[in-house]
Amino acid sequence: MSNKVVLFFPPYAGLPLGPPLSLLSLASPLLEEGFRVSIVDGSVHPDFKRLVAQEIRDALCLGISLLTGQVIRSVVEVAQLVRGLRPGLPIIFGGWHPTLLPAQTLHEPFVDVVVRAQGERTLVELARLLSEGKTIEAVSGISHKLDGGIHHNSERPVANVNDLPTPAFHLGAFDAYERITGIRKLPYASSVGCPYACNYCTDQVFYKRRFNAYTADRVVTEVTELVGRYRVSEVAFLDSNFPVNVRRAVDIARGFVESKVRFRWTFQASTDLLSRMSDEDVWLLGESGV
């Protein structure tokens, strides 16, 4: 039985931000468990269909991460292609859209399993059971087809992000993204979740309004090391609301300043959180490269 997991990220409008952090996060625990991982990113590979067809020849399963929107078109094309080439290969969908609409997603004949919400541990468990030829019926955090119907397994508790491994940034083709965008940019998430309940935001569905964050020390150590290793000039923090813990945000900025590693960085924030900062805190953010 193969131990290779193929992960596909569909192309989207506009320039790519950088390597797909969602897939790098999924890849890391798979690698720790001894699986091989191949990532095909449609945003930098116009011939992504050919690459997916090539990579699935010896694959254990195919995982696809997607948002709601135009990206679904290419996802459908790839999944249908794979179903035709390898009818028995498990096709697993994950990400925001399948989590919000698992039943609708599973109505399609080219989807076998939906991983709901945080997927790192769920996908590892799925891959392990598939490689052992065992049933997946007891895996928490998934929806799947069973006895001609759709079955939603129990939710998997959200893991503390400090207990998850660093995303597999070494699988990110930084040179390819730089050729397209003209900048070496690192996507990074120091937290997930947000305590607010904005009606337009999916975070409260995924993370139940809980702020789940790396420690400031971990952020400073990881980011400065990654900037040096991959010659990054800008880091895009993808946190839903970076300064929920204002003191932590300031500690991170201070750590960047003290490291003497120079780079630009950006983050998303609710303006009311920024307004709680002192002028000195805001100046520190600027000095650190924000």
Query: How much is the pLDDT for 98?
Result: 97
* Closest to 176 in 3D by CA, of 9, 36, 54: 9
Whether 9 and 42 have beta carbons less than 8 Å apart is answered as yes
Q: Print pLDDT tens along the chain (290 aa).
A: 789 999 999 999 888 999 999 999 999 999 999 999 999 999 999 999 999 999 999 999 999 999 999 999 999 999 999 999 999 999 999 999 999 999 999 999 999 999 999 999 999 999 999 999 999 999 999 999 998 999 999 999 999 999 999 999 999 999 999 999 999 999 999 999 999 999 888 888 788 899 999 999 999 999 999 999 999 999 999 999 999 999 999 999 999 999 999 999 999 999 999 998 999 999 999 999 99
Query: How much is the pLDDT for 182?
Result: 95
Task: Indicate the pTM of the whole model.
Answer: 0.96
Q: How many CB atoms lie within 10 A of CB 243?
A: 23
